[in-house]
Structure 1
Amino acid sequence: MSHDKIRARREALGPHALIRGDALNVMRRMEGDSVDVVVTSPPYNIGVAYRTYRDRREEDDYIGWMRVICAQIARVLKPDGSFFLNIAGSSAQPWLPFELITQLRDLFVLQNHIVWIKSVSIEEKTYGHFKPVNSTRFINHNHEHVFHLTHKGDVPLQRLAAGVPFTDKTNINRRRHAVDRRCRGNTWFIPYETVRHRKQKFLHPGTFPVALPTACMTLHGYDENTVLLDPFMGTGTSLVAAQELGVTGVGIDIDTRYVAVARRRLRVALGQAEPGDEDEMLSEPAMSAEGDGEPLV
């Protein structure tokens, strides 16, 4: 079925909205200047095995599609909003993230470029999630990009709220800092929790840890009126982070099964369901093509 023919369905959970539908079509119907923060990780176009999306377009086609998506994000993002775009290339396709970001220069200003480090080796010890690569040409790919995009490049950030304590406490008084916090910088070490089975990733090939959208929202700043949008919600990690921070989340995904998993995870975060094993989450009834929620209006 063409994505253009899929009727979007909306479901409310607490203050949040889960929308099963095509991200582009849904965002076209959203009110302009209505979102404070966008945190999303779209398909990377590197052959990831999603359930309902073929992650292997011609590069020009993919970049053109993503540009149209980002134009809609620019329309719904408030003038002082932040768009955090998590994307990665691969060892065989290292240029793709940079080819994409240069095509967005007339839509956004690249205010910050954050490197999300998933694994790092310090001396003889490795920290974080290390995924072996069987290659004689490439070294392991242990990072991804988080491009912080804004309308004009002048959005004030909560650098200390998203920061870290000083290691050398003498710096606090010596440099006249008001609190024991310093800017975290543009390299973020955020490892995955160790998993031993794909079910622990909810059978989704491209999840990210809750700590990543949490760090993005904390850096931008938030309050009880903040609205977060994730147009490629997947299994709902950004919405779980939104719930934990007390902000409103709007999540969109084309895949009925992933929406069902996001629904279950969000219900657990809201205290409406008890944490269960992965089999229980994956057995949640999926939202059908006709939908079991209300039509998007």
Structure 2
Amino acid sequence: MTRPGRSTGGEASLAEEVAAAQPCEWRVGKQRIVHGDSVDLLARLPAASIDVIVTSPPYNIGVAYNSYDDQRPRADYLAWLARIAGELARVLAPSGSFFLNVGGTNSDPWIAMDVAGAFRDSFVLQNHIVWVKSVSIGEDTVGHFKPITSRRYLNNNHEAVFHFTKTGAVEVDRLAVGVPYKDKTNISRWKHGSPVRCAGNSWFIPYRTVKSRAQKFDHPAGFPVELPERCIKLHGVANATVLDPFLGAGSTLVAAEKLGCTGTGFEIDPAYAKAAVARLRAGER
């Protein structure tokens, strides 16, 4: 951790470091974690300084976060997101990519679309990706989902990932997240220059099996590291500068560190910031 006026060689625990100052900042590898409100912290970033933004804001569906009320009036919530959108547009490079993960509930199916709409004045929607958490093929099911008991709704097995850019014309590295050809003869027969093809806009990324909240880093709504990793790869810039303004337990920065990218994450809750720092210090992959 680096912070003016404090030695990095002290014996303070990570929890004491979190509580000592606000905003509080740590550097682990190529990653920077800042404890504070993203509205305030975004204003401190230089314009056009970020290549890739990957984030998942609170969904406003009553998730029990430690330091955030996830049941705000819808108009206030969307106005807040529109304000965030303006700042994200300011800090994103002209050729940058912004990946926004949004979930929701069966009883309120408009949440993802409403959230995407809050960013419409600041960005162009270039790709709409479906993050599939669980899928049934024939009589087999793979992945994880939260089952519900209902006579109206199906189990909700997917979330949206909106790929925003400033122009809608940003080139991406589709083959960086490609899949091998099923029929290998297609490679020579159609003169493809790569053994892999575009995987499309449905991404099957299951959660890892966990048996306790601690294995989820005590965060109620994190996403797998594989999701931001795939987003960063798709953008396709070597040594990209990555930002997550709603860092949570740090999955985006774990992915950025794995890929050799420089990353910054903002997190308003000290416990979640602590979890992100601990994951990076432990060298999670």
TM-score (norm 1): 0.87
Percent same amino acid among aligned pairs? 51
- Distance (Å, rounded) in 2 between the aligned partners of 1:170 and 1:27: 50
Aligned-partner SS, 2:53: strand
Alignment deviations for residues 40-77 of structure 1 (CA, whole Å, 9 cap, x no partner): 01101111111111111111111111111111110000
Map of 2:241 onto structure 1: 227
Map of 1:236 onto structure 2: 250
Match of 2:78 among 51, 54, 63: 63
- Distance (Å, rounded) in 2 between the aligned partners of 1:197 and 1:168: 41
Query: Are 1:167 and 2:170 an aligned pair?
Result: no
Residues 222 and 247 in structure 1, CA contact (< 8 A), matched pair in contact too: no
Alignment deviations for residues 126-158 of structure 1 (CA, whole Å, 9 cap, x no partner): 010132112221110000000000000111000
Map of 1:91 onto structure 2: 106
Map of 1:137 onto structure 2: 152
- Distance (Å, rounded) in 1 between the aligned partners of 2:150 and 2:69: 25
Residues 98 and 163 in structure 2, CA contact (< 8 A), matched pair in contact too: yes
CA drift of 1:199 comes to 1.3
Matches within 5 A, 1:45-64: 45-64=60-79
CA drift of 1:103 comes to 3.1
Query: Are 1:249 and 2:263 an aligned pair?
Result: yes
CA drift of 1:222 comes to 2.7
- Distance (Å, rounded) in 1 between the aligned partners of 2:84 and 2:275: 24
- Distance (Å, rounded) in 1 between the aligned partners of 2:121 and 2:145: 37
CA drift of 1:119 comes to 0.3
Greater displacement, 171-180 / 30-39 = 171-180
Letter in structure 1 aligned against 2:144: H
Map of 2:17 onto structure 1: none
Greater displacement, 189-198 / 113-122 = 189-198
Match of 2:210 among 195, 205, 213: 195
Map of 2:5 onto structure 1: none
Alignment deviations for residues 169-197 of structure 1 (CA, whole Å, 9 cap, x no partner): 12111221111110010000000111111
Letter in structure 1 aligned against 2:247: M
- Distance (Å, rounded) in 2 between the aligned partners of 1:102 and 1:130: 26
- Distance (Å, rounded) in 2 between the aligned partners of 1:24 and 1:130: 32
Map of 2:273 onto structure 1: 259
Gap regions ≥5 residues in structure 2? 1-20
Matches within 5 A, 1:64-83: 64-83=79-98
- Distance (Å, rounded) in 1 between the aligned partners of 2:90 and 2:189: 45
Aligned-partner SS, 1:269: coil
- Distance (Å, rounded) in 1 between the aligned partners of 2:145 and 2:270: 30
Map of 1:36 onto structure 2: 51
Residues 81 and 118 in structure 2, CA contact (< 8 A), matched pair in contact too: no
Gap regions ≥5 residues in structure 1? 1-5, 276-297
Aligned-partner SS, 2:234: helix
Residues 81 and 119 in structure 2, CA contact (< 8 A), matched pair in contact too: no
Q: Between Structure 1 and Structure 2, how many residues are aligned? A: 265
- Distance (Å, rounded) in 2 between the aligned partners of 1:130 and 1:100: 22
Residues 36 and 227 in structure 1, CA contact (< 8 A), matched pair in contact too: yes
Query: Are 1:103 and 2:118 an aligned pair?
Result: yes
Greater displacement, 20-29 / 92-101 = 92-101
CA drift of 1:15 comes to 2.1
Greater displacement, 84-93 / 98-107 = 98-107
Letter in structure 1 aligned against 2:93: K
Match of 2:282 among 265, 268, 293: 268
- Distance (Å, rounded) in 1 between the aligned partners of 2:153 and 2:53: 33
Could you say what the CA RMSD is over the residues aligned between the two structures, in angstroms?
Answer: 1.3
Match of 1:20 among 31, 35, 49: 35
Map of 1:278 onto structure 2: none
TM-score (norm 2): 0.90
